[in-house]
Amino acid sequence: MENKIFSPQHLLKLNNPLRLQITPPSFLMEKAKITHPRTMLDFGAGTALFSKAFIDLFPQLTVYACDISSEMIAWIKQEVIPTYPSIIPIKLADFHIPLHDNLIDFTLMMNVLHELDSVKETLTECLRILQPSGKLVLVDWKKEPSQQGPAMNIRIDVQEAEELLKSIGFSDVESFNDLSSHYLIIATK
């Protein structure tokens, strides 16, 4: 079986500022209709590139940057926390998110859905930790040929993702096709 998890050996790819141009945080917030968030979960944060960008947009924001990779968590602690102390790195061991119920205003899942082994369980956890009316902002690769991105056989089609979100209890599930290689789904608790 092909390894679906992004390799820490390619860590610097995650810090490419072009990623913020391809999927601008301000665009994501506009589509999600989020204006004054206080708490964010960056699920699969990698090097916390997007965590930092969201704090730049919302200086009052506390970001819980979760990742399964010890290397990514170490990177965040060493390279990010000194400049962005409101980012709290959290090492994930499985799909369980070690945060309290109803804590988070919005969760960002940036190019992570296709990597998950326990998709339904992980999304259920994301629902649990969201505050009432909290939002899931999910961006992943379209299931169509592209020059970059994961193999086609591990990508998850947007309709499949929408149906899964609805089946576990998310409401107002809406997808957007504005991005060139990615789809965006906004779902509400």
**CATH number of the domain that residue 76 is part of:** 3.40.50.150
146 or 131: which carries more pLDDT confidence? 131
Q: Is residue 111 part of a domain?
A: yes
User: Domain span at residue 172?
Assistant: 23-188
Residue 53 sits at the vertex; the CA angle it makes with 51 and 57, to the nearest 5 degrees, is: 115
The structural domain count of the chain equals 1
Least confident interval from 4-8, 107-111, 147-151: 4-8
At residue 136, the 3 state secondary structure works out as strand
Q: Is residue 6 part of a domain?
A: no
169 CB neighbour count, 10 Å cutoff = 12
Name every residue whose Cβ is closer than 8 Å to that of residue 72 and which is 6 or more positions away in sequence.
Answer: 8, 11, 45, 46, 47
pLDDT at 10: 62
Q: Among 187, 123, 95, 113, which residue's Cα sits nearest to residue 156? A: 113
Cα 10 from Cα 183, distance rounded (Å): 23
Q: Is residue 2 part of a domain?
A: no
Q: Inter-axis angle of helices 119-129 and 158-167, to 10 degrees?
A: 60
Cα 70 from Cα 76, distance rounded (Å): 10
pLDDT at 91: 94
Percent of the chain with pLDDT over 90: 75
pLDDT bucket at 2, cuts 50 / 70 / 90 = very low
The average pLDDT across 8-35 equals 84
Cα 42 from Cα 90, distance rounded (Å): 10
Q: Is residue 88 part of a domain?
A: yes
Percent of the chain with pLDDT over 70: 92
Q: How far is CA 70 from CA 8, 46, 90, 123, in A?
A: 9, 10, 10, 22
The average pLDDT across 159-180 equals 96
